[in-house]
Amino acid sequence: MGWIDEEHQGVRYGLSGDVLVEERSPFQRISVICSERYGKGLLLDGCWMTAEHQERHYHEPLVHPALCTAQSIERVLIIGGGDGGTARECLRHTDVTHLDMVEIDGRVVELSRTHLPMIGGSAWSDPRFHLTIGDGIAWVSDSAEQSYDVVLVDGSDPAGPAVGLFNRTFFEQCRRILRPGGVFATQSESPEAFRAVHVAIVRLLREVFGHADPLYGWVPMYPSGWWSWTFAAVDGPRYKSPISPRAALIQHDCQIWSPRWQRGGFDAIPYSIELELQNE
């Protein structure tokens, strides 16, 4: 047992545990660890991504505010999401009939399926689930106009392989492939540890989609523990209003998310960030 730490700006967050796998894929350094507190976990380029007993803090807030509010949720696209947790939460929605997931790094999927099988759960064998190992940015560009009800971006920080997932061209392409009544969502970093990037993402999404709002929650293993996801739509802030029957089907198996929690997460914007977003 030793400490496995992520360091960021003079702060470190560490878990006591053992490193099970450490390898370099063509895209990044991948580490699988086994921790005392949160079970098995995954790091990419030394940054905490997920762990068995903490992953719901991240996946529920990304998925359910989008899938409970889009007009229809038949066709869903995930960019990234190699550990399978986002796919698993999407497939709990029985109205989803086709889920595409495009992950750039096949080794992340292989190592997750081998070492963290409980995170993807039954998603990997669900007939509605279609996995492509490839470039998500190209996938979006090549997709037909209005071909998805929901687009979820589940990428790492805007550095390395994920850098292209946070710019105007990519967001415009995501808007193009969304059907009317659709919802776009992306993780949008910490309002504390990555404040400038966070504010820039929200601003850009507002420009591109017309409506976008950050939702705040907690992922203890990410820098500052305070995290955000930003939701966008063309036809108004529909991502704020869960559709009751769909929410009722999902809520009972959630640890974090509920329609009430979601309302709280959108309201819990720190006052200084609210002001900064108003002064555009």
Catalytic residues: 154
Q: What residue ranges in 97-221 does DSSP mark as E strands?
A: 98-103, 129-133, 148-154, 178-187, 211-218
Query: Within 231-270, which residues bind a copy of itself (CB under 8 A)?
Result: 251, 254-258, 260-261, 263-270
Q: In this structure, which long-range contacts are made by residues 233-236, counting pairs with CB atoms below 8 Å and at least 24 apart in sequence?
A: 233/182, 233/183, 233/184, 233/209, 234/175, 234/178, 234/180, 234/182, 234/209, 234/210, 235/180, 235/181, 235/211, 236/211
Choice between 181 and 220, CB closer to a copy of itself: 220
Q: Which stretch binds a copy of itself (CB under 8 A): 78-86, 176-184, 203-211, 224-232?
A: 224-232
| Smallest gap from residue 9 Cβ to a copy of itself (A) | 5
| Segment interacting with a copy of itself (CB under 8 A) among 12-20, 87-95, 110-118, 129-137 | 12-20
| 164 near a copy of itself, judged by CB under 8 A | no
User: Of 79, 228, 254, nearest to 150 (Cα)?
Assistant: 79
Nearest partner of 89 among 231, 251, 260, judged by Cα: 251
d(CA 99, CA 76) in angstroms, rounded, equals 5
User: What sign has the CA pseudo-torsion 76, 266, 218, 171?
Assistant: positive
Among 209, 216, 229, 231, binds a copy of itself (CB under 8 A): 216
Rule CB under 8 A: choose which of 92, 98, 192, 234 binds a copy of itself.
Answer: 192
3-state secondary structure of 141: helix
From residue 29 to residue 58, the character string flagging contacts with a copy of itself as x (rule: CB under 8 A) and all else as - is ------xxx---------------------
**Smallest separation, CB 125 to a copy of itself (Å):** 27
Contact 268, 226 (CB under 8 A): no
Candidate residues 2, 3, 23, 244; the one interacting with a copy of itself per rule CB under 8 A: 3
Minimum distance, C-beta of residue 57 to a copy of itself, in the bound complex (Å): 8
In the complex, the residues that contact a copy of itself under the rule CB under 8 A are: 3, 5, 9-17, 35-37, 192-193, 216-218, 220, 224-226, 251, 254-258, 260-261, 263-272, 274
